[in-house]
Structure 1
Amino acid sequence: MFKNRYIPSRMVLLVWVYYIYLVANSFLAGNKDIHLITSSIKILALLAVIDMQIQSNQQKAIEILYYVVGFFCMVDAASIIFFPDGLYQLTTNWNEWSYSISNYWIFGHKNNHAIWFILFGYLTYLHCTNLKKDKAKIICFFYALISVLSMVIIKSSTSLVVIVIVNLAIYKFGFSNNDIRFETKILLYISFIINVLVIFGFTVFLQPIVELFFNKDLTFSGRTLAWQNALFFIAQKPFFGWGIIPESNIQSLLGSIAFVNAHNQILQSLFQGGIILLLIIIVIFIYIANSIDNELDSNYKIVKSACLGALLIELVFEVRLDSQTTWILILVISQFFRSSHERIISDTDLQRGL
């Protein structure tokens, strides 16, 4: 029994540290909502189960996740394609003269779909690496068609960009012979620079990119108001933050009923947990980058890096570390490896075939 006991991976331990600190900090700040504990335990338990399965049989774990996540993504895609105006709509009254209508599907509003489809794309790629090349490309093409079409219909420019990045990585590099070498930490450096430029308003030179690829003005669909207000409150409690507070209070602090968070992961982390929580997140992402660099197969490394890059882009404009889907994506990227033994066998068989 003790021989097969479960020992959490470092990634899971880091996520535990993240949630334990965030929940404890929130309670100390005055938010004693028991839901914080129960929801965190659910996420940590799910990650532990997946981590345990990966340690036991990583290929089986990937297959299970592929079919489960794929089922939900296909249902969501069907709801988008067959109901382009949404399964239902919610009306937001801004004042007595104006209002807006938002469309919702299985995964919710338009900004909530990308992480699911990034995860599905990565799992699809892993699933297809065990198939014949022609069949694998057909399945990946089907994923590309469904994912891109869904993002086009919901009119989420950021989601479309990140999904295109993942698809290009899979098609361009996923099934070819590559020996591209690079440090994955470069993505973290670039992300940090972009976050600083965007948050503090140094974005004039980014205007062509923002307008062309993200279909936004330099206020990033009004997010600059939320960023400015978040910075004001972060400055008041820079080390420990304000903890997790109710959405109604967040809307009041950030200056609009449209904002239930800071719409930027760095600012949200500083707001909720201060510099300490941000340092925990930095450690987590450095660990992810190091784990990707430890991948021996260049094709896998490129696809993993594309998924990480897509996630980092999402984190510039949205808050995603409150989602179990994001943590599953992070866990699978950091814990799944194509072993060196498998690569040697494949390369040897290829040489014999030639």
Structure 2
Amino acid sequence: MKKQFFLDSLAFIFMTILSTTYLDLGSWYNRNLIISFIYIYFLFRILFDIFVRKVSFTSSKIICSILLLSVVSSLWSETFRYSLLTSLLFLALPTFIIIYIANIYSFNKVMSLTNYAAGIMVVLSIVFIFFFPEYGIESGIHEGAWKGIFASKNNMALSISFLSISTLYLFVNSKNRTFKTFYAIQILIQLFLIFKTTSTTGIVVLIFLIACYIFSTFFRRIKNIYIRLSLLSFSGIFVFLLSYHLIINISDLVSRFGKDMTFTGRDAIWEACIILIKQSPFLGYGFGGVYKENTYTKEFIDSYINWELIGGAHNGYLDLLLNLGIFGFILVTFAAIILVVRNFKLLSLDNQLKNYIIYIYMIFILIYNFQESAFLKENYMLWNYFVYFYILIKVEKIKRKI
């Protein structure tokens, strides 16, 4: 049993690493092939538990509906075979693995494994930055910015920001002074790497996440319901006024960070994608095939923006609409609302830190997808963690009969 637990943990750690990093090391490194072996291992584990150990698992109709739509969407995709294989092997299969993990692993265990994965990624990034700078440091327009083992500096900054939430949670939750010191050092290294990416988006998101973490830690200590409501009302008004101020002065704010209102050319991509969405609003163009070569969608976007597209709209919401249309967008939105509501019910019962952490993760996912295509995406960590939190909350809801 201990050996099985060790192998499960190791497989999950490397699954997290591979679903976060997209480093191109040449023809000898095949990310999809490596992650496929991990999927095969978990598939045998799941089948063994179901048919031999007769273990039953909690699933979700809405998550399965999203997966079904993704698979069926291959029927109207220009790249039928690619869309079908991608949706089955690199979306549905890892999603079922995450559902399995949510049934057997506690929140604390997953945070611990996530932190191990974060530590490995940080160490490997430092190695690549100093010993293999041709891979670990950006060239061209972003020359000198650190990207480590990630695809770009933005990807590194936002991924480490996301993973650092687990480190912060373990730091606050740990009772062992030695572990606390270790987590504190790890947090400082993560902060240093994020700032060395020079990613404005990553740094701003990190500051916002830290603010949310401080607020949630302080808020959960307040027992008086009236003080809580007053603080929530004040915070809501403050966020509204701050958002209004930022929107009004968005041009000045963006220019202070050395950017412009084109968001490094993203506005042209978004405009092209919106035109495509209007042409096929309800069903989209099929999962995973929008940016494949020699397709109408790929050629349209390339000709519209007149520069090489790297495989995404740089906006998760637009990509979701492009892939699965309004129907898919509604399903995903509905799943997110259910998660938020169920988590609030559990939070109101025992006021646990983990429920606040889940909200922080959800806020991150919400913000991240305004700048990057990183939600309903094959082999990607944000979708995996979203499914994990959704099933975890559902399992707890069933256990408590809420």
- Give TM class, smaller chain: 0.7 to 0.9
Q: Any conservation in 1 of the 2:374–2:382 contact (CA below 8 Å)?
A: yes
| Local SS of the residue matching 2:317 | helix
Matched, 1:314 2:368: yes
Q: Distance in 1 between matches of 2:372 and 2:249?
A: 22
Q: Could you list the structure 1 runs, at least 4 aligned residues long, displaced by more than 6 angstroms after superposition.
A: 89-92, 99-103, 337-340
Which residue is 2:202 aligned to?
159
Which residue is 2:299 aligned to?
252
Following TM superposition, by how much is the alpha carbon of 1:174 offset from its aligned partner in structure 2, in angstroms? 3.6
Name the Cα RMSD after superposition.
3.9
Following TM superposition, by how much is the alpha carbon of 1:279 offset from its aligned partner in structure 2, in angstroms? 0.8
1:281 aligned partner, one-letter code? V
Which residue is 2:332 aligned to?
281
The correspondence for 2:188, drawn from 129, 133, 145, is 145
Which residue is 1:303 aligned to?
357
Which residue is 1:263 aligned to?
314
Q: Any conservation in 2 of the 1:117–1:163 contact (CA below 8 Å)?
A: no
Following TM superposition, by how much is the alpha carbon of 1:335 offset from its aligned partner in structure 2, in angstroms? 4.5
Q: Distance in 2 between matches of 1:226 and 1:236?
A: 16
| Local SS of the residue matching 1:62 | helix
The correspondence for 1:7, drawn from 28, 49, 57, is 57
Call closer, same or farther: CA 1:127–1:44 in 2, change over 3 Å: farther
Matched, 1:117 2:173: no
Higher helix share: 2
Please give the per-residue CA displacement for 1:264-283, whole angstroms capped at 9, x wherever unaligned.
Answer: 12211222222111112211
Following TM superposition, by how much is the alpha carbon of 1:119 offset from its aligned partner in structure 2, in angstroms? 4.2
Which residue is 1:223 aligned to?
266
Call closer, same or farther: CA 1:154–1:251 in 2, change over 3 Å: farther
Which residue is 2:85 aligned to?
37
Matched, 1:326 2:374: no
| Local SS of the residue matching 1:53 | helix
| Local SS of the residue matching 2:80 | coil
Call closer, same or farther: CA 1:57–1:203 in 2, change over 3 Å: closer
1:7 aligned partner, one-letter code? F
Q: Any conservation in 2 of the 1:18–1:281 contact (CA below 8 Å)?
A: yes
Q: Any conservation in 2 of the 1:86–1:103 contact (CA below 8 Å)?
A: no
Q: Distance in 2 between matches of 1:75 and 1:47?
A: 28
The correspondence for 1:75, drawn from 123, 127, 148, is 123
Counting only pairs closer than 5 Å after superposition, residues 17-56 of structure 1 correspond to structure 2 as 17-34=65-82, 36-38=84-86, 40-56=88-104
Matched, 1:16 2:56: no
The correspondence for 1:207, drawn from 235, 238, 251, is 251
Following TM superposition, by how much is the alpha carbon of 1:151 offset from its aligned partner in structure 2, in angstroms? 1.8
Q: Structure 2 length as normaliser, TM-score?
A: 0.65
2:385 aligned partner, one-letter code? L
Q: Any conservation in 2 of the 1:129–1:136 contact (CA below 8 Å)?
A: no
> Is there any run of 5+ residues in structure 2 with no aligned partner, and where?
1-49, 398-402
Q: Any conservation in 1 of the 2:62–2:335 contact (CA below 8 Å)?
A: yes
Q: Any conservation in 1 of the 2:285–2:323 contact (CA below 8 Å)?
A: yes
Following TM superposition, by how much is the alpha carbon of 1:336 offset from its aligned partner in structure 2, in angstroms? 4.7
Please give the per-residue CA displacement for 1:178-230, whole angstroms capped at 9, x wherever unaligned.
Answer: 455659xx8xx99xxx9xx9xxxx96532244345x65311111111011111
Moved more, 238-247 or 42-51: 42-51
Q: Distance in 1 between matches of 2:247 and 2:292?
A: 29
Q: Distance in 2 between matches of 1:178 and 1:136?
A: 27
Please give the per-residue CA displacement for 1:62-116, whole angstroms capped at 9, x wherever unaligned.
Answer: 2662354234422344246536955267878xxxxxx887975312112223453
Q: Distance in 1 between matches of 2:363 and 2:369?
A: 10
Q: Distance in 2 between matches of 1:328 and 1:115?
A: 16
Matched, 1:66 2:120: no
Q: Any conservation in 2 of the 1:148–1:164 contact (CA below 8 Å)?
A: no
| Local SS of the residue matching 1:242 | coil
Please give the per-residue CA displacement for 1:134-165, whole angstroms capped at 9, x wherever unaligned.
Answer: 55653443343222222221221112222233
1:302 aligned partner, one-letter code? Y
1:236 aligned partner, one-letter code? Q
The correspondence for 2:148, drawn from 86, 105, 115, is 105
Equivalent pairs counted in the alignment come to 318
| Local SS of the residue matching 2:359 | helix
Following TM superposition, by how much is the alpha carbon of 1:313 offset from its aligned partner in structure 2, in angstroms? 1.2
2:299 aligned partner, one-letter code? S
